[in-house]
Structure 1
Amino acid sequence: MRLLVIEDEAPMRTALVETLRAEGYRVTSAPDGISGLELACTEGFDLILLDVMMPGLDGFALCRELRKRGRDSAVLMLTAKGQVEDRVNGLDSGADDYLVKPFSLDELLARIRALLRRKDRESTISDEFSLGNARIDLSKRLLVRDGTTLELSEKEAGMLRLLASHPGETVSRERFLDVVWGYHAYPSTRTVDNFIAALRTKLEDDPARPRYLVTVRGTGYRLEP
């Protein structure tokens, strides 16, 4: 899972990054709201830890802008402001949860796990769906096209599930590696390209000119429903 820490206080930012990496997460950090917003809008993150009180662009404004741009990463706000109206403002700006400083690391990690579980449940899809003249059954790992039944490997089925969970959205190569292969395994991003090529031969009428598994140059792939 990929996490983004946006925190302007260097000691806190360093402590969060080191703690989360020790838990097995892939972590990127930003020292201010402007650079954090740019990262959040150009890369795919499962969850964003967002400090509220930052110069330039504060956490409330940043979160509102994220939601305005259609970014659906889970957002956990971190702040020293514990008044009810501040928590309401944070949630109304689009945050999924709100944690008041100082907090225990155990509680922080529990909140993160809960948000990631919720995100996984929200992104579930039916095991059976169609793409053009192809019928796909992810539970059986089968693809039927033009009367021919083809088997899908475990990784191919996992990649299709991830793509189908986010139709029309770009899925980065790193996200494929995180979700399908797992953070403990580190194949190269070229591995993702090879699996996409294999999927295209099964799914596309013309694999050289894909209609459904579309390349997003420099980033990853997108499923066109």
Structure 2
Amino acid sequence: MKILIVEDDKRISEFLQKGLQEAGYFVQLAHDGLEARNFIQNDSWDLFILDIMVPGIDGLQLAEIIRFRKIDTPVLMLSALGEAEDKIKALDIGADDYLVKPVHFPELLSRINALRRRYELHYSNDNVLFCGDLKVDIDRNVVERAGQEIVLSAKEFRFLVYLVENQNKIVTRTQILQVVWDTNQDTYTNVVDVYISYLRNKIDQGFDEKLIRTIKGRGYMITCQK
């Protein structure tokens, strides 16, 4: 597993590199955003670990570049900023997870393993899911409804895949947080509602049949005709 770490603090970057190499990973360090951009453009990676506040191009901008280039490799953000708003901003841009410094190394390894499992589940197999006239091509990261392509962010896509995988079943906010955001924190509950709104606007708007339903007091469900 090839990991690119973008971290300008030499002590932290060497600590991460040493620990991950001992865990059996190949690790490349980049100490600023410009150097990192070159690594991103010129090689393929299994995981990006991005500090937010690095010189040149910051971690959030790097995450945007990664998703703009349609690279679906997992992105783990590192930051000393621990407010919910900071996490939400990073996740909205396309990060898959967010870890607050100081880093507890066993937790970092656990997060890496979880991201890798989710990536392999959702992207490594040639899977196409259907829900009525909705088509979700997991391998190609393409969504279509009635033949019309729908552009989703990385987080929206992951959320939709989870709903379609559980079509005609109620999924709770807690389940959604665990699978899509890899967290149990209540501070993210409103984010689920926001992303449901995003998906409705993209998936259901303009169509007579509404697929995404709110089950009051229980959660959400995407309904598909058998």
The TM-score bracket by the shorter chain reads 0.5 to 0.7
String of CA shifts for 1:36-91, please: whole Å, max 9, x gaps. 12101221111011000112211111111111111111000000000111101111
Question: Unpaired runs of 5+ in structure 1?
Answer: 128-164, 168-225
The question of 1:94 aligning with 2:72 is answered no
String of CA shifts for 1:78-122, please: whole Å, max 9, x gaps. 000001111011111110000000121010000000001111111
User: Structure 2 CA distance, aligned partners of 1:124 and 1:42?
Assistant: 21
One-letter code aligned to 2:77: M
Please provide the CA RMSD for this pair.
1.7
Which residue pairs with 1:45 in the alignment? 45
User: Structure 2 CA distance, aligned partners of 1:29 and 1:166?
Assistant: 29
User: Structure 2 CA distance, aligned partners of 1:28 and 1:166?
Assistant: 27
Question: Unpaired runs of 5+ in structure 2?
Answer: 128-138, 142-226
Q: CA deviation at 1:123?
A: 2.2
* Contact 1:47–1:73 (8 Å) recurs in 2: yes
User: Structure 1 CA distance, aligned partners of 2:85 and 2:53?
Assistant: 15
Which residue pairs with 1:34 in the alignment? 34
Q: CA 1:123 to 1:83, structure 2 compared with 1: closer, same or farther past 3 Å?
A: same
User: Structure 2 CA distance, aligned partners of 1:72 and 1:125?
Assistant: 14
* Contact 1:41–1:71 (8 Å) recurs in 2: no
String of CA shifts for 1:163-215, please: whole Å, max 9, x gaps. xx679xxxxxxxxxxxxxxxxxxxxxxxxxxxxxxxxxxxxxxxxxxxxxxxx
User: Structure 1 CA distance, aligned partners of 2:38 and 2:95?
Assistant: 18
User: Structure 2 CA distance, aligned partners of 1:76 and 1:2?
Assistant: 14
Identity of aligned residues (%): 41
One-letter code aligned to 2:72: D
Q: CA deviation at 1:125?
A: 2.5
Which residue pairs with 2:20 in the alignment? 20
Question: Where do 1:137-148 residues align within 5 Å?
Answer: none
Which residue pairs with 2:175 in the alignment? none
Which residue pairs with 1:72 in the alignment? 72
One-letter code aligned to 1:105: F
One-letter code aligned to 1:6: V
User: Structure 2 CA distance, aligned partners of 1:11 and 1:98?
Assistant: 20
One-letter code aligned to 1:31: H
The runs of at least 4 aligned residues of structure 1 exceeding 4 Å deviation read: none
The question of 1:10 aligning with 2:35 is answered no
Q: CA 1:126 to 1:9, structure 2 compared with 1: closer, same or farther past 3 Å?
A: closer
User: Structure 2 CA distance, aligned partners of 1:46 and 1:86?
Assistant: 24
* Contact 1:51–1:79 (8 Å) recurs in 2: yes
Q: CA 1:67 to 1:126, structure 2 compared with 1: closer, same or farther past 3 Å?
A: closer
Q: CA deviation at 1:126?
A: 5.0
Which residue pairs with 2:181 in the alignment? none
